[in-house]
Structure 1
Amino acid sequence: MSSASVVRSLVDKYPTGQVFTYDDLKCDKAAAAIELSRLYKKGAIQKLTRGRFYKAAQGTFGPIRPTEEAIIQAYQKAGQGYETGIMAYNRLGLTTQIPSVIEIATTMEPRTIMIGNTKIKLVRQRQSPKKSNVQLLQILDALRQIKKIPDTTPSEVLINIKGIITLLSDIEKKELSKLTLDFTPRTRALIGAILEELDCKKYTDAIKQSLNTTTTFRLGIKESVLKYGREWKIV
Protein backbone atom coordinates (compact mmCIF):
# COMPACT_ATOMS: atom_id res chain seq x y z
CA MET A 1 0.00 0.00 0.00
CA SER A 2 1.39 3.44 -0.93
CA SER A 3 2.02 6.15 1.67
CA ALA A 4 -0.90 8.19 0.26
CA SER A 5 -3.20 5.17 0.59
CA VAL A 6 -2.10 4.65 4.19
CA VAL A 7 -2.88 8.29 5.05
CA ARG A 8 -6.30 8.15 3.35
CA SER A 9 -7.11 4.94 5.20
CA LEU A 10 -6.22 6.53 8.54
CA VAL A 11 -8.24 9.66 7.76
CA ASP A 12 -11.26 7.54 6.81
CA LYS A 13 -11.35 6.13 10.34
CA TYR A 14 -11.98 9.56 11.88
CA PRO A 15 -15.63 10.50 12.49
CA THR A 16 -16.94 13.78 11.10
CA GLY A 17 -16.27 16.75 13.36
CA GLN A 18 -13.24 15.24 15.12
CA VAL A 19 -10.07 17.30 14.82
CA PHE A 20 -6.81 15.54 13.98
CA THR A 21 -3.20 16.51 13.23
CA TYR A 22 -0.26 14.99 11.39
CA ASP A 23 0.94 13.42 14.63
CA ASP A 24 -2.44 11.79 15.31
CA LEU A 25 -2.16 9.76 12.12
CA LYS A 26 0.96 8.01 13.46
CA CYS A 27 2.60 7.61 10.06
CA ASP A 28 5.36 9.31 8.09
CA LYS A 29 4.85 13.03 8.77
CA ALA A 30 6.08 14.17 5.35
CA ALA A 31 3.74 11.77 3.56
CA ALA A 32 0.87 12.83 5.83
CA ALA A 33 1.48 16.52 5.11
CA ILE A 34 1.45 15.96 1.34
CA GLU A 35 -1.68 13.80 1.31
CA LEU A 36 -3.63 15.97 3.79
CA SER A 37 -2.85 19.01 1.66
CA ARG A 38 -4.15 17.14 -1.37
CA LEU A 39 -7.32 16.03 0.43
CA TYR A 40 -7.90 19.60 1.66
CA LYS A 41 -7.61 21.03 -1.86
CA LYS A 42 -10.10 18.42 -3.10
CA GLY A 43 -12.55 19.37 -0.32
CA ALA A 44 -12.42 15.90 1.26
CA ILE A 45 -11.29 17.41 4.56
CA GLN A 46 -11.43 20.91 6.05
CA LYS A 47 -8.71 22.90 7.79
CA LEU A 48 -9.43 24.22 11.29
CA THR A 49 -6.11 26.01 11.84
CA ARG A 50 -2.58 25.36 10.64
CA GLY A 51 -1.86 21.65 10.95
CA ARG A 52 -5.34 20.77 12.26
CA PHE A 53 -7.96 19.16 10.02
CA TYR A 54 -11.39 17.58 10.26
CA LYS A 55 -13.94 15.81 8.10
CA ALA A 56 -17.02 17.99 7.92
CA ALA A 57 -20.65 17.01 7.81
CA GLN A 58 -22.51 18.98 5.14
CA GLY A 59 -25.14 21.45 6.30
CA THR A 60 -27.57 23.68 4.42
CA PHE A 61 -24.97 26.43 4.19
CA GLY A 62 -21.90 24.28 3.59
CA PRO A 63 -19.46 22.30 5.78
CA ILE A 64 -20.26 22.26 9.50
CA ARG A 65 -17.41 23.17 11.85
CA PRO A 66 -16.49 20.93 14.80
CA THR A 67 -18.24 21.60 18.09
CA GLU A 68 -16.60 23.81 20.72
CA GLU A 69 -15.97 20.67 22.75
CA ALA A 70 -14.09 19.00 19.88
CA ILE A 71 -12.00 22.15 19.31
CA ILE A 72 -11.14 22.38 23.01
CA GLN A 73 -10.15 18.72 23.13
CA ALA A 74 -7.86 19.17 20.13
CA TYR A 75 -5.92 21.98 21.82
CA GLN A 76 -5.86 20.24 25.17
CA LYS A 77 -4.34 17.15 23.61
CA ALA A 78 -1.85 19.09 21.49
CA GLY A 79 -0.50 21.09 24.42
CA GLN A 80 -1.14 18.55 27.15
CA GLY A 81 -3.48 21.16 28.55
CA TYR A 82 -6.72 21.49 30.43
CA GLU A 83 -9.71 23.81 30.46
CA THR A 84 -9.42 26.72 32.88
CA GLY A 85 -10.95 30.16 33.37
CA ILE A 86 -14.64 30.96 33.66
CA MET A 87 -15.80 27.90 31.69
CA ALA A 88 -13.98 25.59 34.12
CA TYR A 89 -15.31 27.52 37.11
CA ASN A 90 -18.81 27.24 35.68
CA ARG A 91 -18.41 23.46 35.40
CA LEU A 92 -17.21 23.37 39.03
CA GLY A 93 -20.39 25.20 40.04
CA LEU A 94 -18.56 28.34 41.19
CA THR A 95 -20.32 30.76 38.78
CA THR A 96 -23.36 30.76 36.54
CA GLN A 97 -21.71 32.98 33.93
CA ILE A 98 -20.96 31.53 30.49
CA PRO A 99 -17.73 32.97 29.06
CA SER A 100 -17.24 34.50 25.64
CA VAL A 101 -13.62 33.28 25.65
CA ILE A 102 -12.53 29.69 26.25
CA GLU A 103 -9.27 29.45 28.19
CA ILE A 104 -6.94 26.47 27.97
CA ALA A 105 -3.89 26.09 30.19
CA THR A 106 -1.25 24.58 27.92
CA THR A 107 2.44 24.14 27.21
CA MET A 108 1.90 25.85 23.84
CA GLU A 109 2.85 29.50 23.21
CA PRO A 110 0.28 31.80 24.90
CA ARG A 111 -1.97 33.43 22.31
CA THR A 112 -5.58 34.01 21.34
CA ILE A 113 -7.10 32.14 18.38
CA MET A 114 -10.37 32.82 16.60
CA ILE A 115 -12.07 29.78 15.07
CA GLY A 116 -15.32 30.94 13.50
CA ASN A 117 -17.12 32.69 16.36
CA THR A 118 -15.17 30.81 19.00
CA LYS A 119 -12.31 32.65 20.74
CA ILE A 120 -9.75 30.38 22.39
CA LYS A 121 -7.12 31.82 24.70
CA LEU A 122 -4.08 29.67 25.37
CA VAL A 123 -2.50 30.53 28.73
CA ARG A 124 0.71 29.22 30.25
CA GLN A 125 0.07 26.34 32.64
CA ARG A 126 1.84 25.89 35.94
CA GLN A 127 1.80 22.09 35.99
CA SER A 128 1.76 19.29 33.43
CA PRO A 129 -1.72 17.81 33.84
CA LYS A 130 -2.69 14.18 34.07
CA LYS A 131 -6.22 12.96 33.61
CA SER A 132 -6.36 12.32 37.35
CA ASN A 133 -5.35 15.82 38.48
CA VAL A 134 -7.15 18.18 36.08
CA GLN A 135 -9.90 18.96 38.60
CA LEU A 136 -7.27 19.64 41.27
CA LEU A 137 -5.51 22.12 38.98
CA GLN A 138 -8.84 23.78 38.18
CA ILE A 139 -9.54 24.16 41.92
CA LEU A 140 -6.15 25.81 42.39
CA ASP A 141 -6.73 28.10 39.39
CA ALA A 142 -10.07 29.14 40.89
CA LEU A 143 -8.48 30.00 44.23
CA ARG A 144 -5.72 31.89 42.45
CA GLN A 145 -8.37 33.98 40.68
CA ILE A 146 -10.82 34.04 43.57
CA LYS A 147 -11.41 37.79 43.27
CA LYS A 148 -11.98 37.65 39.52
CA ILE A 149 -14.66 34.97 39.27
CA PRO A 150 -17.87 36.75 38.15
CA ASP A 151 -21.35 36.58 39.74
CA THR A 152 -20.01 35.42 43.09
CA THR A 153 -17.89 36.48 46.08
CA PRO A 154 -14.66 35.07 47.54
CA SER A 155 -16.68 33.70 50.48
CA GLU A 156 -19.11 31.89 48.18
CA VAL A 157 -16.24 30.49 46.11
CA LEU A 158 -14.56 29.17 49.27
CA ILE A 159 -17.75 27.53 50.55
CA ASN A 160 -18.24 25.74 47.22
CA ILE A 161 -14.60 24.71 46.90
CA LYS A 162 -14.57 23.34 50.45
CA GLY A 163 -17.53 21.20 49.44
CA ILE A 164 -15.63 19.89 46.40
CA ILE A 165 -12.45 19.16 48.38
CA THR A 166 -14.48 17.37 51.07
CA LEU A 167 -15.48 14.79 48.45
CA LEU A 168 -11.89 14.14 47.32
CA SER A 169 -10.15 10.95 48.36
CA ASP A 170 -7.27 11.11 50.82
CA ILE A 171 -4.84 10.47 47.94
CA GLU A 172 -6.33 13.38 45.98
CA LYS A 173 -6.07 15.71 48.98
CA LYS A 174 -2.41 14.77 49.35
CA GLU A 175 -1.85 15.45 45.63
CA LEU A 176 -3.64 18.78 45.97
CA SER A 177 -1.30 19.81 48.77
CA LYS A 178 1.71 19.02 46.56
CA LEU A 179 0.36 20.80 43.49
CA THR A 180 -0.42 23.98 45.43
CA LEU A 181 3.30 24.53 46.14
CA ASP A 182 3.69 25.76 42.54
CA PHE A 183 0.92 28.33 42.94
CA THR A 184 0.76 31.80 44.48
CA PRO A 185 1.25 32.33 48.24
CA ARG A 186 -2.43 33.29 48.66
CA THR A 187 -3.54 30.10 46.91
CA ARG A 188 -1.23 28.07 49.15
CA ALA A 189 -2.60 29.74 52.28
CA LEU A 190 -6.20 29.08 51.22
CA ILE A 191 -5.52 25.40 50.54
CA GLY A 192 -3.65 25.10 53.84
CA ALA A 193 -6.56 26.58 55.78
CA ILE A 194 -9.11 24.40 53.97
CA LEU A 195 -7.13 21.18 54.50
CA GLU A 196 -6.63 21.98 58.18
CA GLU A 197 -10.36 22.55 58.56
CA LEU A 198 -11.00 19.17 56.90
CA ASP A 199 -8.71 17.39 59.41
CA CYS A 200 -5.92 16.99 56.85
CA LYS A 201 -3.29 18.89 58.81
CA LYS A 202 -0.77 16.15 57.98
CA TYR A 203 -0.62 17.59 54.45
CA THR A 204 -0.15 21.24 55.42
CA ASP A 205 3.38 21.35 56.89
CA ALA A 206 5.17 21.90 53.57
CA ILE A 207 2.59 24.53 52.60
CA LYS A 208 3.06 26.46 55.84
CA GLN A 209 6.86 26.32 55.53
CA SER A 210 6.62 27.81 52.02
CA LEU A 211 4.84 30.96 53.24
CA ASN A 212 6.26 34.20 54.61
CA THR A 213 4.97 34.45 58.19
CA THR A 214 4.62 38.25 57.91
CA THR A 215 2.39 38.23 54.82
CA THR A 216 -1.36 38.82 55.25
CA PHE A 217 -3.95 37.96 52.59
CA ARG A 218 -6.92 40.32 52.59
CA LEU A 219 -10.05 38.74 51.13
CA GLY A 220 -12.73 39.78 53.59
CA ILE A 221 -13.25 36.17 54.69
CA LYS A 222 -15.08 35.61 58.00
CA GLU A 223 -14.14 32.88 60.47
CA SER A 224 -17.54 31.29 59.89
CA VAL A 225 -16.51 30.68 56.27
CA LEU A 226 -12.90 29.61 56.87
CA LYS A 227 -12.34 28.33 60.41
CA TYR A 228 -8.54 28.53 60.39
CA GLY A 229 -8.27 31.55 58.10
CA ARG A 230 -6.69 33.78 60.73
CA GLU A 231 -4.02 31.18 61.51
CA TRP A 232 -3.10 31.25 57.83
CA LYS A 233 -3.11 35.10 57.77
CA ILE A 234 -6.29 35.23 55.65
CA VAL A 235 -8.54 38.10 56.72
Structure 2
Amino acid sequence: MNRVTALKQQLKPGKVYRREDLIRYSNAVDRHLAQLVDEGILEKVAQGLYYFPKQSIFGAVPPEDEVLVRSFLKDDRFLLTSPNSYNALRLGTTQLYNKRVVYNHKRHGEIDLNGRKFFFHKTPYFPKKATPEFLLVDLVNHLDSLAEDRDMVLKNAFLKAKTMDFNKLKYAVQEYGHTKTKKLIEPVLDQMKSEAYVN
Protein backbone atom coordinates (compact mmCIF):
# COMPACT_ATOMS: atom_id res chain seq x y z
CA MET A 1 0.00 0.00 0.00
CA ASN A 2 1.46 3.39 -0.96
CA ARG A 3 1.47 6.40 1.38
CA VAL A 4 -1.29 8.30 -0.44
CA THR A 5 -3.63 5.29 -0.21
CA ALA A 6 -2.77 4.92 3.48
CA LEU A 7 -3.58 8.60 4.04
CA LYS A 8 -6.84 8.31 2.13
CA GLN A 9 -7.93 5.38 4.34
CA GLN A 10 -7.79 7.67 7.39
CA LEU A 11 -10.36 10.05 5.90
CA LYS A 12 -14.04 9.96 6.80
CA PRO A 13 -16.74 11.42 4.51
CA GLY A 14 -18.15 14.76 5.69
CA LYS A 15 -15.15 15.64 7.84
CA VAL A 16 -12.89 18.67 7.59
CA TYR A 17 -9.22 18.13 8.40
CA ARG A 18 -6.45 20.48 9.38
CA ARG A 19 -3.08 19.86 7.75
CA GLU A 20 -1.50 19.10 11.13
CA ASP A 21 -4.14 16.41 11.78
CA LEU A 22 -2.80 14.43 8.82
CA ILE A 23 0.98 14.81 9.24
CA ARG A 24 1.25 11.57 11.22
CA TYR A 25 -0.24 9.59 8.31
CA SER A 26 2.18 10.87 5.66
CA ASN A 27 5.93 11.32 5.15
CA ALA A 28 5.26 14.13 2.62
CA VAL A 29 1.93 15.57 3.71
CA ASP A 30 1.91 18.67 1.46
CA ARG A 31 2.66 16.67 -1.68
CA HIS A 32 0.12 13.99 -0.78
CA LEU A 33 -2.58 16.54 0.05
CA ALA A 34 -1.95 18.34 -3.25
CA GLN A 35 -2.24 15.01 -5.07
CA LEU A 36 -5.57 14.19 -3.36
CA VAL A 37 -6.88 17.66 -4.23
CA ASP A 38 -5.79 17.25 -7.87
CA GLU A 39 -7.58 13.89 -7.99
CA GLY A 40 -10.77 15.48 -6.61
CA ILE A 41 -10.70 13.30 -3.50
CA LEU A 42 -10.12 16.24 -1.16
CA GLU A 43 -11.32 19.85 -1.44
CA LYS A 44 -9.16 22.66 -0.10
CA VAL A 45 -11.57 24.89 1.82
CA ALA A 46 -9.03 27.31 3.35
CA GLN A 47 -5.31 27.59 4.01
CA GLY A 48 -4.32 24.33 5.72
CA LEU A 49 -7.93 23.08 5.79
CA TYR A 50 -9.25 20.18 3.68
CA TYR A 51 -12.68 18.58 3.23
CA PHE A 52 -13.37 14.94 2.35
CA PRO A 53 -16.79 15.22 0.65
CA LYS A 54 -19.74 13.09 1.58
CA GLN A 55 -21.43 11.79 -1.58
CA SER A 56 -25.16 11.78 -2.33
CA ILE A 57 -27.16 10.81 -5.42
CA PHE A 58 -26.76 14.46 -6.50
CA GLY A 59 -22.98 14.43 -6.08
CA ALA A 60 -20.68 15.84 -3.42
CA VAL A 61 -22.36 17.37 -0.37
CA PRO A 62 -20.74 20.62 0.80
CA PRO A 63 -19.40 20.69 4.37
CA GLU A 64 -21.74 21.88 7.10
CA ASP A 65 -21.00 25.35 8.43
CA GLU A 66 -20.56 24.02 11.98
CA VAL A 67 -18.02 21.42 10.79
CA LEU A 68 -16.06 24.07 8.90
CA VAL A 69 -15.99 26.48 11.82
CA ARG A 70 -15.14 23.80 14.40
CA SER A 71 -12.18 22.60 12.34
CA PHE A 72 -11.01 26.11 11.55
CA LEU A 73 -11.12 27.23 15.20
CA LYS A 74 -10.03 23.85 16.56
CA ASP A 75 -12.57 24.58 19.27
CA ASP A 76 -16.16 23.60 20.11
CA ARG A 77 -16.83 26.86 21.96
CA PHE A 78 -18.54 29.08 19.42
CA LEU A 79 -21.98 30.30 18.44
CA LEU A 80 -22.82 30.32 14.73
CA THR A 81 -25.67 32.62 13.82
CA SER A 82 -26.92 34.96 11.11
CA PRO A 83 -29.02 38.13 10.81
CA ASN A 84 -31.63 35.81 9.26
CA SER A 85 -32.16 34.40 12.76
CA TYR A 86 -33.79 37.69 13.76
CA ASN A 87 -36.73 36.89 11.48
CA ALA A 88 -37.90 34.28 14.00
CA LEU A 89 -38.63 37.11 16.47
CA ARG A 90 -41.27 38.52 14.08
CA LEU A 91 -40.21 42.14 14.48
CA GLY A 92 -40.66 43.11 10.85
CA THR A 93 -37.26 41.91 9.67
CA THR A 94 -37.77 40.07 6.41
CA GLN A 95 -34.48 40.54 4.57
CA LEU A 96 -32.40 37.48 3.80
CA TYR A 97 -28.70 38.03 4.46
CA ASN A 98 -25.87 35.96 3.03
CA LYS A 99 -23.90 36.45 6.21
CA ARG A 100 -22.67 34.01 8.83
CA VAL A 101 -21.57 35.36 12.20
CA VAL A 102 -19.35 33.32 14.54
CA TYR A 103 -19.03 34.39 18.16
CA ASN A 104 -15.91 32.76 19.58
CA HIS A 105 -12.93 33.13 21.92
CA LYS A 106 -10.10 32.96 19.37
CA ARG A 107 -10.49 34.76 16.06
CA HIS A 108 -11.74 38.12 14.83
CA GLY A 109 -12.32 39.26 11.28
CA GLU A 110 -13.78 38.18 7.97
CA ILE A 111 -12.64 34.69 6.94
CA ASP A 112 -13.37 32.88 3.69
CA LEU A 113 -14.13 29.18 4.22
CA ASN A 114 -15.01 27.06 1.19
CA GLY A 115 -15.94 30.17 -0.80
CA ARG A 116 -18.30 31.47 1.90
CA LYS A 117 -17.68 34.47 4.13
CA PHE A 118 -17.78 34.05 7.89
CA PHE A 119 -17.60 37.05 10.22
CA PHE A 120 -15.73 36.02 13.34
CA HIS A 121 -16.32 38.09 16.47
CA LYS A 122 -13.93 37.42 19.31
CA THR A 123 -15.79 37.97 22.56
CA PRO A 124 -15.64 36.48 26.08
CA TYR A 125 -19.42 36.22 26.38
CA PHE A 126 -21.93 34.39 24.22
CA PRO A 127 -24.52 31.67 24.94
CA LYS A 128 -24.27 28.05 23.85
CA LYS A 129 -27.35 28.52 21.70
CA ALA A 130 -29.16 31.54 20.32
CA THR A 131 -32.15 32.01 22.65
CA PRO A 132 -34.92 34.51 21.75
CA GLU A 133 -33.62 36.82 24.49
CA PHE A 134 -30.09 36.71 23.08
CA LEU A 135 -31.34 37.29 19.53
CA LEU A 136 -33.31 40.34 20.63
CA VAL A 137 -30.26 41.82 22.37
CA ASP A 138 -28.04 40.90 19.41
CA LEU A 139 -30.46 42.57 17.01
CA VAL A 140 -30.39 45.83 19.00
CA ASN A 141 -26.58 45.57 19.19
CA HIS A 142 -26.46 45.49 15.38
CA LEU A 143 -29.51 47.62 14.59
CA ASP A 144 -27.45 50.01 12.45
CA SER A 145 -26.47 47.20 10.08
CA LEU A 146 -30.05 46.16 9.26
CA ALA A 147 -31.61 47.01 5.91
CA GLU A 148 -35.12 47.46 7.34
CA ASP A 149 -36.75 50.55 8.92
CA ARG A 150 -34.72 50.66 12.14
CA ASP A 151 -37.19 52.77 14.12
CA MET A 152 -39.97 50.32 13.31
CA VAL A 153 -37.80 47.31 14.19
CA LEU A 154 -36.69 48.88 17.49
CA LYS A 155 -40.27 49.76 18.44
CA ASN A 156 -41.32 46.16 17.74
CA ALA A 157 -38.31 44.89 19.70
CA PHE A 158 -39.47 46.82 22.78
CA LEU A 159 -42.97 45.35 22.44
CA LYS A 160 -41.53 41.86 22.03
CA ALA A 161 -39.25 42.36 25.05
CA LYS A 162 -42.29 42.93 27.27
CA THR A 163 -43.60 39.45 26.40
CA MET A 164 -40.34 37.74 27.38
CA ASP A 165 -39.21 36.23 30.67
CA PHE A 166 -37.92 39.16 32.72
CA ASN A 167 -34.97 37.35 34.31
CA LYS A 168 -33.79 35.76 31.05
CA LEU A 169 -34.01 39.09 29.22
CA LYS A 170 -32.25 40.96 32.04
CA TYR A 171 -29.44 38.40 32.01
CA ALA A 172 -29.08 38.64 28.20
CA VAL A 173 -28.93 42.44 28.34
CA GLN A 174 -26.33 42.42 31.12
CA GLU A 175 -24.15 39.71 29.56
CA TYR A 176 -24.39 40.40 25.83
CA GLY A 177 -25.68 43.96 25.40
CA HIS A 178 -23.45 46.73 24.11
CA THR A 179 -23.48 49.96 26.14
CA LYS A 180 -25.97 51.60 23.77
CA THR A 181 -28.20 48.50 23.84
CA LYS A 182 -28.28 48.51 27.64
CA LYS A 183 -29.37 52.16 27.64
CA LEU A 184 -32.14 51.39 25.15
CA ILE A 185 -33.53 48.26 26.83
CA GLU A 186 -33.07 49.05 30.54
CA PRO A 187 -36.12 51.42 30.61
CA VAL A 188 -38.19 48.53 29.20
CA LEU A 189 -36.87 46.25 31.96
CA ASP A 190 -37.71 48.90 34.57
CA GLN A 191 -41.24 49.11 33.21
CA MET A 192 -41.62 45.32 33.21
CA LYS A 193 -40.41 45.22 36.79
CA SER A 194 -42.77 47.95 38.00
CA GLU A 195 -45.75 46.37 36.21
CA ALA A 196 -44.91 43.03 37.84
CA TYR A 197 -45.06 44.68 41.27
CA VAL A 198 -48.39 46.31 40.43
CA ASN A 199 -49.85 42.99 39.32
Q: TM-score, normalised by structure 2?
A: 0.64
1:157 pairs with one of 149, 154, 158: 154
Counterpart of 1:86?
Answer: 83
2:178 matches 1:183 = yes
Distance 1:179 1:21 in 2: 33
Decide whether the 8 Å contact of 2:144 with 2:150 is kept in 1: yes
Of structures 1 and 2, the one scoring higher in RCO (CA 8 A, sep 6+) is 2
Counterpart of 1:218?
Answer: none
SS at match of 1:142: helix
Distance 1:32 1:161 in 2: 56
Cα displacement (A) at 1:65: 3.0
- The unaligned stretches of length 5 or more in structure 2 are 1-5
Counterpart of 2:96?
Answer: 98
Counterpart of 2:3?
Answer: none
Decide whether the 8 Å contact of 1:80 with 1:129 is kept in 2: no
Distance 1:133 1:154 in 2: 24
Cα displacement (A) at 1:21: 4.2
Distance 2:171 2:28 in 1: 44
Decide whether the 8 Å contact of 1:79 with 1:106 is kept in 2: no
Which deviates the most, 105-114 or 128-137?
128-137
CA 1:123/1:129 → structure 2, altered by over 3 Å: closer, same or farther? closer
Decide whether the 8 Å contact of 1:19 with 1:66 is kept in 2: yes
Q: Which amino acid aligns with 2:142?
A: Q
Cα displacement (A) at 1:151: 1.9
Decide whether the 8 Å contact of 2:79 with 2:103 is kept in 1: yes
Decide whether the 8 Å contact of 2:133 with 2:164 is kept in 1: no
Counterpart of 1:131?
Answer: 128
Decide whether the 8 Å contact of 1:45 with 1:54 is kept in 2: yes
Distance 2:59 2:173 in 1: 50
Cα displacement (A) at 1:144: 1.9
Superposed CA RMSD in Å reads 4.4
Cα displacement (A) at 1:147: 3.4
Q: Which amino acid aligns with 2:78?
A: G
CA 1:34/1:136 → structure 2, altered by over 3 Å: closer, same or farther? farther
CA 1:77/1:135 → structure 2, altered by over 3 Å: closer, same or farther? farther
- The unaligned stretches of length 5 or more in structure 1 are 1-5, 203-235
Decide whether the 8 Å contact of 2:99 with 2:118 is kept in 1: yes
Distance 1:31 1:107 in 2: 28
Counterpart of 2:35?
Answer: 41
Distance 1:36 1:178 in 2: 48
2:52 matches 1:55 = yes
